[in-house]
């Protein structure tokens, strides 16, 4: 075979049907690709990368002009465009010319809004691309005869790669010598079950390794792969998400409100008042221009994008933007114990190792366990075992490895077949005690002793690792071998993270119930729960669901036990999906789920928020909505707070947008209908343009996150918008009445009368509407009294600048086509005072609306931070005082029938519910007062 260097297969004949790399014998594949099992050199790989291109699909380049114009193509923009057509065509009547001023103003408003949207979305897109680059697929490649972890995009035909459990296959490849793989290629072929792939078979880009470990030679990358070719034949499908549906609902509400107002106005103005044609068109234009929240899609999208960037800075990369709003509403979090609640830095206490074979000592058990470990592996257990040796090379010294069985979540063990220096064949396995014990010939004789030691370890918070060996007289890696001999048990200690207890307490304060999910023994789960203050009401999942999720004949509904449980032990992969499903269905909870392995993918997909922890497999990261780059639970709780702040900004703006629509519709319909007052459309345009500039800053506003899970409650948004908008409309109507029908301002503030000058009245009305419209954002952005919650500096500056411009226009501007005339500083001061007076009740109206809708809004008036800080310590003491293993009945249930076990757990669950009543969203203590609210009866916490 030629040395790698000059590829025989060029790009020009890569698609030659005579060169079928999928079906050629492996020897011919190596020859055609001019490579070997030693892989490529870096120089050769660089040359091939130039020839074949990066291992990625071609991104569809969007025309910038079309993208810019697309921001003018949505229902809200359509209404503005209809207004422009009305100003250009329909307004040409009543002995007056075309309304060019309003037409050009509307066009300018659309262009300004589209420009802001275009720039912000480009910035957000660049930021998202940078974030996704951090999630770029990595793969192990043999380059320069050394294994390296490189970006999958650098792969070229001829590379030798390693595929293992949880990996997403990075390129089309042919499998080399090794054990069969289980490959999930449902994303490509639709097959629901994994398929077995053996030496010589092809695996396709995008498929997932479900079982096994093997090397492969890359035969196709990027657009030349099976997936790349198929992608060219498929058009992308736009899926309408929940966030888009919310936008549509709010937009439709505003459009319908404007339509109703326009119809009422037309009916009154023409048949009843017999107004001129041009007056009618102008009044309808006022409703269309002022009532449509044209900036809403941009404001909300930019808020999400900026929020996503903030989350990434905290160690949580968002793959799906709308997961942010779901994270804000999460009230249950199912999290792994290992690595999330604990450090996943395992240590072995050599003095506690239990020896079961007379032929061995503790040193020999450690050596056998090390042989059943991957020396180069980063697995925490393997590293803990290897570190027990004086020299890691001892694990493979004087033996020849024949075959290695990697760990998988179902078998829960590893195994090595090797030949020692005397030519004898052995097989050693280490893993979960129940799995290792089931292999051994004397399991019935030693099972009770093994269980007692496991329980003793577990009571001290130690995990157990079992080791066994067998001789292989057949001298074949496929030989069944002799009887397995149980060697011993090693205790593993995984200390809790220093911040886990405080973080769990923070989560509970935020209304998020944290449930532990672990594959460890029940006693370990209880001890960890006791130490962290999570509670000890935990169940072994095999007893809840049966080994295959059959429920085990529960006396109490399994859904109820799952909802009330603090955690689950002995969890198998299929149980995680069932746990999530029951939590979602039982109480309609928004459930988050953490995971790191390929078998966690279904549960991550099923959960409302799938969270892949740091160092998760490619499959878990692919199935998750959020990928963590930092370990621990604190990252998730911080992400919850940030998500609630982001959601609060979006909710604040939607209430503001609905309120403005209602105030414009009701206010100007009343003015036109009662007093035949015609507000100039051009001035509404000025208000809209100034508002757009100001309201964009809300995406970076400082807000107070909700203390409880939040979600889109459209009825609440619409109700608040209607009430506040109606109030503002009546304030404007009252102002007009006071100016035109009374002498109140003239007599009390010594300003000149405006009654005889309609242009001056329009200037005064313009300033009043502008001030109160923009000031409203300070009310909707706050939970309690607006003057107690400081807004962001950017929002304050934007408001001051916009209102300075508005005030100067009213004071000095005289524009004939806009029908306004300067009113001077005296009237400007009166209008500001009037607006401030009627601004004050807005907070009370807001709180009254929330109180009416939820019954809890009065609590928003009180800041309980100090009280919570004082009482949180008491809550920790109460939790720590809970017994670590309060139910001997439960411990004995391990050796009973499924029906007896379920009865025992039901009895224990009932007693705990009576004594503690710890339920999701509730924290009631029967014996003493609730540590949060001091109530001895059922409380809202």
CATH of domain 347-493: 3.40.1110.10
- Of residues 401 and 284, the one with the higher pLDDT is 401
- pLDDT higher than threshold 60 for residue 597: yes
CA-angle at 770, arms to 768 and 773, nearest 5°: 105
Sorting pLDDT into bands at 50, 70 and 90, what band is 889?
A: very low
pLDDT (0 to 100) of residue 933:
34
Residue located via tokens 């609306």: 849
307's torsion region: left (phi>0), alpha (psi -120 to 50) or beta?
alpha
- In degrees and rounded to multiples of 5, residue 891 shows phi and psi of -60, -40
**What pLDDT digit, counting tens, does each position of 623-634 carry?**
888 888 888 888
- What pLDDT, on the 0 to 100 scale, is given for residue 317? 85
pLDDT at 160: 92
pLDDT at 748: 87
Every domain of the chain with CATH number 3.40.50.1000 lies at 316-343+497-639
What fold, for 11-58+139-231? 2.70.150
The stretch 648-658 carries a mean pLDDT of 89
Do residues 597 and 615 touch, judged by C-beta distance below 8 A? no
Q: Is the per-residue pLDDT at 675 higher than 70?
A: yes
pLDDT, residue 128, reads 61
Q: Please answer whether residues 303 and 646 qualify as being in contact, where contact means their C-beta atoms are separated by less than 8 angstroms.
A: yes
Pairwise pLDDT comparison (921 vs 754), residue with the higher score: 754
> Which has the closest alpha carbon to 319: 166, 129, 139?
129
Q: Give the C-alpha separation, 379 to 848, whole Å.
A: 56
Q: What percent of the chain has pLDDT over 90?
A: 17
Tell me, what's the pLDDT at 131? 60
CB 627 within 8 A of CB 688: no
CA pair distance 644, 707, nearest whole angstrom = 9
**CATH 1.20.1110.10-classified regions of the chain:** 71-123+243-306+640-859
pLDDT greater at residue 904 or residue 106: 106
The answer, yes or no, to whether residue 726 has pLDDT greater than 90, is yes
Average pLDDT, the chain: 79
CATH of domain 316-343+497-639: 3.40.50.1000
Of 758 and 58, which is predicted with more confidence? 758
**Cβ pair 763, 698 in contact under 8 A:** no
User: Tell me: the pLDDT tens digits for 30-41?
Assistant: 888 888 888 899
- The CATH T-level fold of domain 71-123+243-306+640-859 is Calcium-transporting ATPase, transmembrane domain (1.20.1110)
Q: Which residue has the tokens 């030659």?
A: 16
Reported confidence tier of residue 873, pLDDT bands at 50, 70, 90: very low
Domain with CATH 2.70.150.10 in the chain: 11-58+139-231
pLDDT at 76: 78
Q: For residue 320, give the nearest of 643, 629, 630, 576 by alpha carbon.
A: 643
pLDDT of residue 99: 64
The active-site residue out of 336, 520, 566, 692 is 336
Paired tokens of 760: 């001056």
Q: What is the pLDDT of residue 236?
A: 41
Q: At what angle do helices 634-674 and 277-291 cross, to 10 degrees?
A: 170
Whether pLDDT at 341 is above 60: yes
User: What local confidence, expressed as pLDDT, does residue 133 receive?
Assistant: 66
Strands 160-164 and 138-143: antiparallel
Beta-bridge partners for 140:
149, 162
Above pLDDT 70, what percent of the chain? 81
| 347-373: pLDDT as tens digits | 898 899 999 988 899 999 999 999 999
The mean pLDDT of 852-874, rounded to a whole number, is 47
Residue 727 — very low, low, confident or very high, per pLDDT cuts 50/70/90? very high
Question: What's the whole-number mean pLDDT along residues 210-235?
Answer: 74
For residue 618, give every residue at least 6 positions away whose Cβ sits within 8 Å of its Cβ, in sequence order, or none.
Answer: 137, 138, 166, 167, 168, 208
* Closest listed residue to residue 544, CA positions, set 564, 526, 529, 524: 564
**505 near 872, Cβ under 8 Å?**
yes
pLDDT at residue 4 tops 60: no
pLDDT exceeds 60 at position 740: yes
Across 657-683, average pLDDT: 88
Nearest to 606 by CA among 624, 588, 619: 624
Contact 879, 533 (CB under 8 A): yes
Summarised one tens digit per residue, pLDDT across range 269-309 is: 878 877 777 777 778 888 888 888 888 887 887 888 788 88
Answer yes or no: is pLDDT of 725 > 90: yes
| Annotation says 126 is catalytic | no
pLDDT at residue 134, rounded to an integer: 64
The pLDDT-based confidence of 125 (bands split at 50, 70, 90) is: low
Mean pLDDT of 247-270: 87
Residues in the chain: 941
pLDDT of 196 above 70: yes
pLDDT at 823 over 80: yes
In the predicted model, is pLDDT for residue 1 greater than 70? Answer: no
């Amino acid at each position: 075979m030629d040395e790698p260097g000059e590829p025989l297969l060029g790009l020009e004949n890569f698609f030659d049907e005579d060169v079928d790399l999928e079906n050629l014998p492996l020897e011919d594949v190596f020859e055609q690709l001019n490579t070997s099992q030693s892989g490529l050199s870096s120089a050769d790989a660089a040359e091939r990368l130039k020839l074949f291109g990066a291992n990625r699909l071609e991104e569809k380049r969007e025309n910038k002009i079309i993208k810019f114009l697309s921001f003018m193509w949505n229902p809200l923009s359509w209404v503005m465009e209809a207004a422009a057509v009305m100003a250009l065509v329909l307004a040409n009547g009543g002995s007056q010319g075309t309304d060019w001023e309003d037409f050009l103003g509307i066009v300018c408003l659309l262009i300004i809004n589209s420009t802001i949207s275009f720039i912000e979305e480009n910035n957000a897109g660049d930021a998202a691309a940078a974030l996704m680059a951090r999630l770029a697929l990595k793969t192990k490649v043999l380059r320069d005869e050394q294994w390296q972890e490189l970006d999958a995009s650098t792969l070229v035909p001829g590379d030798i790669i390693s595929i293992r459990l949880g990996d997403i296959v990075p390129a089309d490849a042919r499998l080399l010598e090794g054990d069969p793989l289980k490959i999930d290629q449902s994303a490509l072929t639709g097959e629901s079950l994994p398929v077995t792939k053996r030496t010589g078979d092809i695996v396709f880009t995008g498929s997932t390794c479900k079982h096994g470990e093997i090397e492969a030679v890359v035969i196709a990358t990027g657009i030349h792969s099976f997936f790349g070719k198929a992608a060219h034949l498929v058009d992308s499908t736009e899926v309408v998400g929940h966030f888009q549906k919310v936008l549509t609902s709010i937009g439709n509400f505003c459009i319908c409100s404007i339509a109703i107002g326009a119809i009422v106005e037309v009916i009154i103005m023409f048949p009843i008042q017999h107004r001129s044609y041009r007056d009618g068109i102008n009044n309808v234009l006022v409703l269309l221009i002022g009532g449509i929240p044209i900036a809403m899609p941009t404001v909300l999208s930019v808020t999400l994008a900026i929020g996503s960037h903030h989350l990434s800075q905290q160690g949580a990369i968002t793959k799906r933007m709308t997961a942010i709003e779901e994270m804000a509403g999460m009230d249950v979090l199912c999290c792994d114990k290992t690595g999330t609640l604990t450090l996943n830095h395992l240590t072995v206490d050599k003095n506690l190792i239990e020896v079961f074979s007379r032929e061995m000592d503790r040193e020999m058990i450690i050596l056998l366990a090390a042989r059943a470990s991957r020396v180069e592996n980063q697995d925490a257990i393997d590293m803990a075992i290897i570190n027990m040796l004086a020299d890691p090379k001892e694990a493979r010294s004087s033996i020849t490895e024949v075959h290695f069985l990697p760990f998988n979540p179902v078998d829960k063990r590893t195994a090595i077949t090797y030949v020692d220096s005397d030519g004898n064949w052995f097989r050693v396995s280490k893993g979960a005690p129940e799995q290792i014990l089931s292999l051994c010939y004397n399991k019935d004789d030693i099972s009770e002793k093994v269980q007692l030691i496991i329980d003793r370890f577990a009571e001290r918070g130690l995990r157990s690792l079992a080791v066994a060996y067998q001789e292989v007289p057949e001298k074949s890696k496929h030989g069944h071998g002799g009887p397995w001999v149980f060697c011993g048990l090693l205790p593993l200690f995984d200390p809790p993270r220093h911040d886990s207890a405080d973080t769990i307490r923070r989560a509970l304060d935020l209304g998020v119930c944290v449930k532990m999910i672990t594959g460890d023994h029940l006693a370990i789960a209880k001890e960890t729960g006791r130490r962290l203050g999570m509670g000890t009401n935990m169940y072994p999942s095999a007893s809840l669901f049966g080994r295959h999720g059959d429920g085990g004949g529960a006396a109490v509904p399994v859904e109820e036990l799952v909802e009330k449980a603090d955690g689950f032990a002995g969890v198998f992969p299929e149980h995680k999906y069932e746990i999530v499903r029951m939590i979602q269905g039982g109480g309609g909870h928004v459930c988050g789920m953490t995971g790191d392995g390929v078998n966690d993918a279904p549960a991550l997909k099923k959960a409302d928020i799938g969270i892949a922890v740091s160092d998760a497999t490619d499959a878990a990261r692919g199935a998750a909505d959020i990928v963590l780059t930092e370990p621990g639970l604190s990252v998730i709780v911080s992400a919850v707070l940030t998500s609630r702040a982001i959601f609060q900004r979006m909710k604040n703006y939607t209430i503001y947008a609905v309120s403005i629509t209602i105030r414009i519709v009701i206010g100007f319909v009343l003015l036109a209908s009662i007093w035949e007052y015609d507000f100039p459309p051009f001035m509404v345009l000025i208000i809209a343009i100034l508002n757009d500039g100001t309201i964009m800053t809300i995406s970076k506003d400082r807000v107070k996150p909700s203390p409880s899970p939040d979600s889109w409650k459209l009825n609440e948004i619409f109700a608040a918008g209607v009430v506040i908008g109606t109030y503002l409309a009546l304030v404007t109507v009252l102002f007009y009445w006071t100016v035109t029908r009374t002498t109140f301002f003239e007599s009390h503030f010594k300003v000149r009368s405006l009654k005889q000058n309609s242009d001056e009245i329009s200037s005064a009305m313009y300033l009043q509407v502008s001030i109160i419209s923009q000031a409203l954002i300070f009310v909707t952005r706050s939970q309690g009294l607006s003057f107690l919650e400081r807004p962001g500096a950017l929002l304050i500056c934007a408001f001051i600048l916009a209102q300075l411009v508005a005030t100067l226009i009213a004071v000095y501007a005289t524009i004939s086509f806009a029908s306004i005339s300067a009113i001077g500083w005296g009237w400007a001061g009166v209008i500001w005072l009037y607006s401030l007076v009627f601004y004050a009740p807005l907070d009370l109206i807001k709180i009254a609306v929330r109180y009416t809708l939820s019954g809890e809004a009065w609590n928003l008036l009180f800041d309980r931070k100090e009280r919570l800080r004082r009482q949180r310590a008491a809550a920790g003491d109460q939790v720590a005082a809970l017994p670590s293993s309060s139910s001997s009945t439960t411990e004995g249930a391990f050796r009973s029938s499924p029906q007896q076990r379920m009865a025992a757990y039901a009895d224990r669950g009932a007693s705990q519910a009576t004594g503690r009543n710890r339920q999701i969203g509730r924290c009631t203590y029967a014996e003493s007062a609730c540590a949060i609210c001091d109530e001895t009866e059922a409380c809202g916490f």
